[in-house]
Structure 1
Amino acid sequence: MTKRDRIAIEPPRPDWLARVEEEILEPELPIIDPHHHLWDRLGTYLTDEIAADVGSGHNVVATVFVQCRYGHAEDGPEVLRPVRETGLVMDVVREGQARGLETDLCAGIVGFADLMQGAAVAEALVAHEALAEGRFRGIRHITADEPSFDTFLPKVAPDAMQTEAFRAGVACLAPAGLSYDAWLYHPQIPQFTDLARAFPDTTMILDHVGGPLGLGAYRGRRDEVFAAWKASMAELATCPNVNVKLGGIGMDITGSTWSEQEMPPGSETLAEDFRPWVETTIELFGPDRCMFESNFPVDKASYSYPVLWNAFKRLASGASAEEKRMLFHDTAKRVYRL
């Protein structure tokens, strides 16, 4: 039995990240960063930090905040407790506007509602919308589950996506004009495919190229993982309502050890490491259903914002101008209705 591991979020180390500086590639290319978080744990990542990253050289015109259990209420009806996160995100939106930032921070907001509460989540969706001033776009309910390693993520039933309660919650999204973000691990992609087929009118987004694993029982089995992941992704690609975020590959769940190295990686190194996952996903789904994402500040433990987007631009160097627009901007704009 493979030894158990534990995944954890590491705070960024600015001095370490600063050891690698690069000239910004294609600085005029418009970017929507469709996946970042905000929080005041494990270091602060709020207005100052996100503004510094999006203002570090690339042309980031807008961002999308994705839930991370930041500041949930500790009392009141349980179904409504996550709504406080949306209110705190709006504080950052207003702070960015007051500063006159060129980037529209959190132009879209993806919040949390406990879909296992079924139709009762409809009340939470209305409450999110009321706070978000037209920016609320969808729900992410993390279903990542793997018994061979420990995690900071909330416990979830292995078959959550297949339960009647969860699906009753998902059924509330499309009528409200909302999408569903999925964060899971690659062995669970078939469950997500089944969910996507059950709700063809719901826009769905698979985060972090489907969570290919490289620790716990999957440590040292990259070729096997890639083959299984690719087969599952090919089946998922037959669902026209599913889009995929290209990123999150620097997290330790993939087996990444960038944060343990003496020097942070440069964009050429990252591009080569990401290439199999990114190119395969684009081949399967097409650039009109794929979007590059930062997943900051989680991935910031492994590389800086300027270096990451340079890596994405290297990966897209062979794409046409129209394909680049989709990968860096237009897909995110369409999916999140920005």
Structure 2
Amino acid sequence: MSTSFSDSQKNAPAAPHVTIRPEWLALHAEEAIDPARPIIDAHHHLWEFPDKRYRSDNLLADLRSGHDIRATVFIECQTHYSRERPPGFAPLGEVEFVLDEIRAAGEAGARTRVGAAIVANADLLLGDAVEPVLAALIEAGESRVKGIRNIGVWHADPSVKASAATPPPHLLLDPRFRQGLSHLAPLGLSFDAWVVHTQIDELCSLAAAFPDTRIALNHVGGPLAIGPYRGHRDEVFTQWRAAIAQLARHPNVSIKLGGFGMALFGFDFHAMPRPPASSLLAQNIRPYVETCVELFGADRCMFESNFPVDKGNFSYGVLWNAFKRVTSGCTDAEKSRLFHDSAAGFYRIGVVPA
């Protein structure tokens, strides 16, 4: 199994992630709200880079928060890429790494099905040449690879650094990218899209061009609050809401509710003397969550932790309490879809017993 770092990983720019401070997070803890509610965490990472580590033991420690996390979805993060394979096939190393972590979680007696679904990386700019890469990922993934993510986050202003990835501008409009993406649906694969609010029109175009491809927009579509957008939250919210309202018209698109601990949201909880309580977190994220549920419906929305990226701003248990506070007015059926069923359907995760 591959455990080495590629040269590109060693030299990659530091991600705009808030530093995790365990001693600060320990200053606030909460009992789980509605602890018996089944949850699928629809978006988390596992990684080991020269400057940071988050592996199965770290995840399992976070999962022991009192919430009933039945399964998780691993999302690619360009860790442990293979240097021995031909160009294009390097992401197989990440899938092998995740499978090793899944086995380690099982050996540790985890009740949660860690990595019940895997969203891998394959360079869709390869066009038709990506097909054998996709086939290899599916085979290597032991029936867990359910989708592909290519990060498309880009902005003309260099002060708007919302992702460590450096894709070319207008990736989703590139004919080669679209040629590569055309191979997903025939193989039963979905596409995870990560773009910010100024790019959602490009995702609308992609969704219209590929109506048979299931698409999940990550992190509520990244309403920016950094660079020139800092201090303009209300104006950005109006623009973001209009953009995702257009996107919601495409029935093949679902949306992930989370990512609020990323710097791009500008909440800056990490600058507080103590970590935020779930009540404060819920107050800040409520407009975004409620808007998404209103526009997409509960059956096309799924909650995500985005850990460990978001862990610099709040703890795992507090985050899920905040989600439960925001949805306190929803029906039980709506809560079941938001916390479990929508993710299970989108990623084709079977029944997860208690």
Q: TM-score, structure 1 length as denominator?
A: 0.96
Partner amino acid, structure 1, of 2:127: G
Alignment match, 1:102: 111
**Superposition pairs for residues 64-143 of structure 1, below 5 Å?**
64-143=73-152
Q: Deviations over 1:50-72 (max 9, x none)?
A: 11111221000000000011111
Q: Deviations over 1:120-160 (max 9, x none)?
A: 11111111112211111100000000132264623222211
- Could you tell me whether the CA contact under 8 Å between 1:7 and 1:252 is conserved in 2? no
List structure 1 runs of 4+ shifted beyond 6 angstroms: none
- Could you tell me whether the CA contact under 8 Å between 1:11 and 1:43 is conserved in 2? no
| Aligned equivalents of 1:9, 1:38: Cα separation in 2 | 15
- Could you tell me whether the CA contact under 8 Å between 2:257 and 2:303 is conserved in 1? yes
| Aligned equivalents of 2:215, 2:165: Cα separation in 1 | 21
Alignment match, 1:249: 260
- SS of corresponding position for 1:333: helix
| Aligned equivalents of 1:314, 1:203: Cα separation in 2 | 29
Partner amino acid, structure 1, of 2:91: P
Alignment match, 2:44: 36
1:221 aligns to 2:225 (yes or no): no
Alignment match, 1:159: 170
| Aligned equivalents of 1:337, 1:187: Cα separation in 2 | 30
Alignment match, 2:319: 308
Instruction: Give 1:7 shift.
Output: 6.4
Which deviates more from structure 2 when the two are superposed, residues 149-158 or residues 258-267? 149-158
1:182 aligns to 2:190 (yes or no): no
- Could you tell me whether the CA contact under 8 Å between 1:258 and 1:302 is conserved in 2? yes
Which deviates more from structure 2 when the two are superposed, residues 41-50 or residues 226-235? 41-50
Q: Deviations over 1:64-116 (max 9, x none)?
A: 00001111123432210111100000001111122221000000000101111
Q: Match for 1:27 among 20, 35, 41? A: 35
- SS of corresponding position for 1:80: coil
Which deviates more from structure 2 when the two are superposed, residues 186-195 or residues 52-61? 52-61
Partner amino acid, structure 2, of 1:311: A
1:62 aligns to 2:62 (yes or no): no
Q: CA RMSD in A?
A: 1.2
What are structure 1's unaligned runs of at least 5 residues?
1-5
**Superposition pairs for residues 170-319 of structure 1, below 5 Å?**
170-319=181-330
Alignment match, 1:15: 23
| Aligned equivalents of 1:181, 1:119: Cα separation in 2 | 19
Equivalenced residue count is 333
